[in-house]
Homo-oligomer: A and B are copies of this chain.
């Protein structure tokens, strides 16, 4: 099933460094995985690896490990030094930062095809954030030194990362402005819209394709759990969304958009 030159880590919830874990192994095997080969990966078309030549893809394949993280796992911790670059095959990752009194702030939300660890690697820096799997997630891992020697002489490849960093910077700066200027209600509406754009709907074309707790929504928005809850119910009372446990259904996308200003 998996290629011989791929080492497979099985990742155990909340353990660092990565360890073998029976549950992760079962997850790993239960998925109809692709060949664990970058060239054949269905994320190839959307990820930073698109447009890469076959030779570079082979090199990347040769150095990579594959790992599976169960929901809640830590991928890396704020303050530690990056050992390499991660690329998501499937799953969802939240990137969080610790603020006052250990209160978390979610600064990015990732999905299949996205990379993580690149900020610290290109910044030549420790991780400024932690990364957690929000659901069972499969990642590929490229050790830093080997990754660097592959990218080093490939201006196009580095340029692609610069492009990603530029897009992330744009989004972060926009978030500074909205956090500073908008009400909690507007920010909650904006975050739901972001989740919709980023993760899309489930098959019913109404339910947001991500399970997020009230606490996490509050951490995205930069408010308290209670205020996030109240904002959600305001949107519900305005017939813009429906709530069903952790499911959030968007029934009036335009209304949601209008609520962001």
- Nearest-Cβ distance from residue A61 to partner chain B, whole angstroms: 21
Interface assignment of A165: CB less than 8 Å from any CB of chain B: yes
| Beta-carbon contacts under 8 Å, A236-261 to B | 261
The answer to whether B105 touches A163 (Cβ under 8 A) is no
Interface residues on A, range: 35 or more
Q: Given A165-B166, A166-B165, answer yes or no on A122-B179 (Cβ-Cβ < 8 Å).
A: no
- Nearest-Cβ distance from residue A183 to partner chain B, whole angstroms: 9
**How does the 8 Å CB contact mask read for A148-167 relative to B, with 1 for contact and 0 for none?**
00011111001101110111
The answer to whether A222 touches B167 (Cβ under 8 A) is no
**How does the 8 Å CB contact mask read for A82-114 relative to B, with 1 for contact and 0 for none?**
000000000000000111100101011000000
The answer to whether A170 touches B128 (Cβ under 8 A) is yes
Interface core residue of A108, A166, A170, A182 (most chain B CB under 10 Å):
A166
- Specify which of B153, B158, B170, B223 is in contact with A119 (CB 8 Å cutoff): B170
| Beta-carbon contacts under 8 Å, A202-235 to B | 221-223
The answer to whether B99 touches A181 (Cβ under 8 A) is yes
Interface assignment of A144: CB less than 8 Å from any CB of chain B: no
- Specify which of B99, B159, B173 is in contact with A129 (CB 8 Å cutoff): B173
- Specify which of B151, B159, B222 is in contact with A179 (CB 8 Å cutoff): B222
21 interchain pairs, CB-CB under 8 A? A97-B173, A98-B177, A99-B177, A99-B181, A99-B182, A105-B176, A105-B177, A105-B181, A107-B173, A119-B169, A122-B163, A125-B167, A128-B174, A151-B155, A155-B158, A165-B165, A175-B176, A176-B222, A177-B222, A179-B180, A180-B221
